[in-house]
Every structure is written in C-alpha cells, then in structure tokens.
Structure 1
Amino acid sequence: MKSPHDVSAGIAERAKRRRLEANLTQEGLAARAQVSLGTLKLFERTGKSSVEFLIAIAFALGAEQEFEALFPSKPRKTIEDVIAKPLRQRGRRK
C-alpha cells in the first residue's frame, strides 16, 4: 500500500519525465503553465503542490484528460434505482 507521499512523489516523477520527453526546461514548462519556477522546482523535488498547480502543469504537458478518471461517480443501473435512491448530499461518518 502506498502512502500519500509516495503517490505525490510518483506524480512529480512522471510529470518530470513527461517534461523531459517534451524537451522542455523547467523554465519553459513554468512559462507554459503560467506557474512560478520555484514552485515547479519544489514540486519536481518533493511532490508538493496545490491541485490548481497540478492541473496547470497537466494542461501544459497535454495530460489533462487523466483527471477525468479521478473520483469517478458510480453509474446508476436502472431508472428505478434513480427513483428509489436519491443521491445523498451529506456523509454520515466523521
């Protein structure tokens, strides 16, 4: 089982690899994504970033479609399921 740190470090490594495959410098990617160079360097080194930063980098690298698979909703099976069980708006657990 991976930890959140392992996942973020892996994302940063894959983003760096994609940047290098695109033959971009850190400065070039930061300019394309309209993010600060320092934040990009920190991200590639540690994996730390905001969601907005990560999305900006993904768009600049042409990887925005990968976000579509994140947190997919479960499809309803039939119209009866939709009528019988409305979507909950709040969670029950703390």
Structure 2
Amino acid sequence: MSYFILPRTAAEVQDEIAASARARRLARNLTQDELARRSGVAIATLRRFESGGAASLSTVLAIAEALEALEGFSTLFPLPEAKSLDELNEAAQRRRAAGRKKG
C-alpha cells in the first residue's frame, strides 16, 4: 500500500503552525499571558494567532523564539539541489532573477 501527501493550502499550514505553537506553549506549562510577555507580542494578538493562525511573520518569529522553536525556519525555503556540476556552477553565478521584458 502506498501513501502520498496531498499538497496543503496556506490556510492549512497556518492552522498547523498555530496549533503547534499552542501545543508547545502548553507542553512548557506557559500561560498565554506569560508567552505574550516573553515574546513581546500583545496578548490579544497571541490569542488571535492561537485561535485562527492569523499573524504577521514577525509575530510568528517572536513567538517561535520565545518557545525556543526558531530552528525550523532556517529550512523554510530550501535551495533546489543541483543535478550536475553545470547546474551547480550556474547556480553559483546567478545573483538575481532574470528581469521581465516590458512591452
């Protein structure tokens, strides 16, 4: 039997991150007030994040830092793996995306 993971929507990922943050807060026996104080995030913002996942990136990072969970963010946008030396050399030379043609 084979299993595959369906692509998730942004809303599903958002909900998963919020639920994980809440679970980590509870596992560390922190109240919302304590996490808000440690992270520098307003209590209303933290409650809104935990209940619906909506928050700015800076808010999520502040909460993650307070929960000692920043390590996962470094792998958020992995670079594609080169399949050949030519691709590796090409990637090393590339500094920015190609511009769009106007007109």
Coarse TM-score class (shorter-chain normalised): 0.7 to 0.9
SS, match of residue 93 in structure 2: coil
Q: Work out the percentage of aligned pairs sharing the same amino acid.
A: 38
Aligned to 1:35: 41
Displacement of 1:78 in angstroms is 4.2
Say whether 1:86 aligns with 2:93.
yes
RMSD after superposition: 2.4
* TM-score normalised by structure 1 residue count: 0.84
CA distance 1:36–1:85, change in 2 (3 Å): closer
Distance 1:26 1:14 in 2: 14
Instruction: Give the structure, 1 or 2, with the largest relative contact order (CA under 8 Å, sep 6 or more).
Output: 1
5+ residue gaps, structure 1, are: none
Instruction: Name the count of aligned residue pairs.
Output: 93
* TM-score normalised by structure 2 residue count: 0.78
Runs of 4 or more, structure 1, over 4 Å off, are: 75-80
